[in-house]
């Protein structure tokens, strides 16, 4: 009985992994929205169906007249994507970035999803990574209970699944974009003298750096307490 349950669970997991792998291969890093608006560097705007090719950092707009135009970040200030009901809106902005090369002063425009606006902004980009799920405990116990082959791989060999990976960035007050390679560690460096205040806020509200909604709250709060104090005189009272 236990073997049958184990086999059934294994088949369900395998089916899920196969579906996820197929979906990732067919879509890649391409997102589509039925409606949206692109704000050009010239001051004009274009509306229509938006296709965002993340790997190439390119957006295509299918306009109402049937024509299609494509733009790179250098020609765009930002764009917003809207779902069918108009209830969900995602905002992307163009920022200059060193593309992860901290030893270079060369900055080029790139698209970032805007999560938090303020003195300190929270931005996001998505990339694709390949993960070997054949080494995961659940996968190993479900499919290969009879041992492993070369270098510890299951008899059937490794199984890779393409997964999206979120990368987060802080837009500093000076306009520079800093990648958060280790979110908690890098944020604590940015806090500076307000570190103790931030740690207390995070502890009291039970926030986690690994949660996007929590990270947004953390960045928003830090931006709020980092605003310069407005001095008032007796005439203002």
Structural domain range at position 44? 2-181
Q: Are residues 193 and 207 in the same domain?
A: yes
Q: Are residues 176 and 60 in the same domain?
A: yes
Q: Are residues 166 and 187 in the same domain?
A: no
Q: Are residues 34 and 92 in the same domain?
A: yes
Q: Are residues 84 and 21 in the same domain?
A: yes
> Mean per-residue pLDDT for 72-78?
97
Q: Are residues 143 and 175 in the same domain?
A: yes
Structural domains counted in the chain:
2
Q: Are residues 20 and 107 in the same domain?
A: yes
Q: Are residues 156 and 198 in the same domain?
A: no
173 contact partners, CB below 8 Å, separation of at least 6: 119, 120, 226
Cβ contact 72:110 at 8 Å: no
Give the number of other Cβ atoms within 10 Å of residue 215's Cβ.
22
Q: Are residues 128 and 172 in the same domain?
A: yes
> Mean per-residue pLDDT for 11-15?
33
pLDDT digits (tens, 9 = 90+) for 89-147: 999 999 999 988 888 889 999 999 999 999 999 999 998 776 666 666 655 555 444 44
Triad 45, 94, 113: Cα angle to 5°: 100
Q: Are residues 121 and 158 in the same domain?
A: yes
Higher-confidence position of 21 and 137: 137
Distance of CA 144 to the CA centre of its chain: 34
Q: Are residues 44 and 111 in the same domain?
A: yes
pLDDT digits (tens, 9 = 90+) for 153-177: 555 566 767 778 899 999 999 999 9
Triad 214, 168, 179: Cα angle to 5°: 130
Q: What is the pLDDT of residue 25?
A: 35
């Amino acid at each position: 009985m236990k073997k049958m349950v184990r086999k059934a669970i294994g088949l369900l997991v395998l089916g899920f992994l196969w579906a996820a792998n197929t979906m990732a291969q067919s879509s890649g890093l391409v997102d589509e929205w039925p409606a949206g608006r692109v704000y050009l560097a010239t001051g004009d705007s274009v509306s229509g169906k938006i296709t965002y090719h993340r790997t190439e950092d390119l957006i295509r707009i299918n306009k109402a007249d049937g024509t299609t135009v494509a733009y790179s970040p250098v020609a765009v200030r930002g764009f917003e994507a809207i779902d069918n009901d108009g209830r969900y809106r995602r905002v992307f902005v163009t920022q200059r970035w060193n593309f992860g090369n901290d030893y270079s002063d060369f900055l080029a425009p790139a698209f970032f999803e805007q999560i938090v606006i303020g003195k300190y902004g929270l931005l996001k980009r998505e990339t694709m990574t390949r993960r070997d799920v054949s080494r995961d405990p659940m996968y190993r116990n479900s499919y290969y209970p009879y041992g492993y082959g070369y270098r510890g791989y299951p008899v059937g060999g490794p199984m890779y699944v393409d997964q999206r990976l979120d990368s987060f960035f802080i837009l500093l007050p000076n306009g520079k974009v800093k990648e958060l390679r280790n979110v908690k560690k890098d944020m604590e460096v940015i806090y500076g003298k307000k570190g103790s205040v931030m740690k207390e806020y995070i502890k009291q509200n039970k926030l986690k750096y690994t949660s996007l909604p929590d990270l947004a709250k953390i960045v928003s709060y830090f931006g709020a307490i980092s605003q310069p104090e407005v001095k008032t005189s007796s005439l203002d009272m």
